[in-house]
Each structure stands twice: as C-alpha cells, then as structure tokens.
Amino acid sequence: NSEKNLMATSKFLSLVLRHQPEVVGMQLDDEGWLDINQLISNANERGKALSLELLHEVVATSDKKRFALSDDGLRIRASQGHSLANVDLKLDEAKPPQTLYHGTVAAFLESIRATGLQKRSRNHVHLSSDAATATKVGSRRGKPIVLQIDAAAMHQQGHLFYLSANGVWLVDAVPPQYLTFP
Ligand code: HQG
C-alpha cells in the first residue's frame, strides 16, 4: 500500500474511531472498540476501500501508534484523541514525570494564561513527555510554542493523570498556576 493510501486510511480511521463512527453507520462500545469485520464491510458498502491487510498495515506503521487491536485481534480502537463523550478508555491512573509539555500556538496564549489548558472538543487535554513531541503537536497549527507543566505538583495536589497506550499523557485540565510560558 502506498504512503498516501496509508495516510488517507489513518485519517479515515481517526475520524471513525475518535469522532464520528456514524460515517460507517456504527457506534463504538463504551470503551471505544469497534468490530473490525463489521467496520470493513460497512466501509466497503459505503464505497470506502478498506481491507484487513490495509487496516493491519495502518496500525503497524502509524508513526504515533494511534490505534490498538484487542487481544483477540477482532476489535480496534483509537488510543487517544476522542471527542465522543460516551467513550471511556478505562485507563489506569498513573504517576506522571516531574515535567510534561504542551505544544500550542501564540494565538491561544492569552486565553491559556487566563483559564489554563482546557480540553476543548476532545475528552482530555493532551500532554507530551518530551518537548520535541510537543513542538510537533504545536506545529500542526503554526509556529509552535511549548508550555511546561509542573506535573509533579499537579499530581501531588490531586489531579489525575492517565497514560494512553501510545504514550500520550491525558488530564482533565491544567490550571494556569502549573504552567510555565516560554
Ligand atoms: C488549545 C494530535 C485557548 C490547545 C496531537 C490546542 C495530540 C486552548 C487546542 C492530539 C486552551 C486544542 C491533541 C485555552 C487549550 N484557550 N486555546 N484555554 N486550552 N487550547 O487538537 O493537544 O495526530 O484538541 O493548545 O499529536 O493540539 O491527531 O489538542 O492547540 O496528541 O493523532 O486548543 O492530536 O494527535 O486542540 O492535539 P486539540 P492538541 P493526532
């Protein structure tokens, strides 16, 4: 499968598994899983070329390991990034490193200074364990600005942290007092 085909299929799977399973006439279960055979046949019915082989190649080659297969190989879900309110990945709470990072752009800074980081349309605020990854996340929107989060203090003061299967740290919000601006 071509690079282009893999990328397009990855974007399609992100749409279905994070935001709009209804585009293939399906619903995720309450932990975000979708039956793979059903997904393939529903996608094909709607004119979307998808095969088991293509799906497996996308899962295996995803740069951010965006998707996870169930142990029996029959179901797939996105490891983070959901906007669907009814999905609960049932992640275990985890102790974060001292510092985490968030990549954003200048246009959002005034608002972030005032209210801290908010989850906006997604189910969590996404944080990275290294500044380089946060820089890439910010670059999606323009010239990246990387904020530092005092994760140790947040955790100590009772904020819950979750680590997604693909290494993204998830929190409900980051109040402004834990942020350091560059
Ligand atoms: C900003 C990608 C104003 C925030 C990435 C961000 C990530 C505020 C945007 C994943 C704000 C939300 C998520 C506030 C936050 N005022 N703006 N109070 N609080 N923001 O896309 O972190 O490639 O929902 O800075 O790698 O950019 O899709 O979050 O710019 O892991 O797999 O509001 O998406 O992964 O944007 O990205 P998003 P994000 P994938």
Locate the ligand 1 atom nearest the alpha carbon of residue 127 and give its number: 22
Q: What is the mean pLDDT of each run of 10 residues along the chain (182 residues)?
A: 94 98 98 98 96 97 95 97 96 97 98 97 97 98 98 98 97 98 94
CA of 122 to the centre of ligand 1 (A): 8
With H, G, I as helix, E, B as strand and everything else as coil, classify residue 104.
strand
pLDDT at 1: 83
Angle at 51 (CA atoms; ends 31, 38), nearest 5 degrees: 45
* Two domains, one topology: 3-78 and 99-180: no
In what order do the strands lie in the sheet containing 67-69? 34-35, 75-78, 67-69
Locate the ligand 1 atom nearest the alpha carbon of residue 115 and give its number: 18
The residue to mutate among 126, 133, 139, having the most atoms of ligand 1 within 8 angstroms of its beta carbon, is: 126
CB 15 within 8 A of CB 32: no
Domain boundaries, the chain: 3-78, 99-180
The residue to mutate among 13, 104, 105, 147, having the most atoms of ligand 1 within 8 angstroms of its beta carbon, is: 104
**ipTM of the complex model:** 0.96
pLDDT at 68: 97
Into which CATH architecture does domain 99-180 fall? Answer: Alpha-Beta Barrel (3.20)
Into which CATH architecture does domain 3-78 fall? Answer: Orthogonal Bundle (1.10)
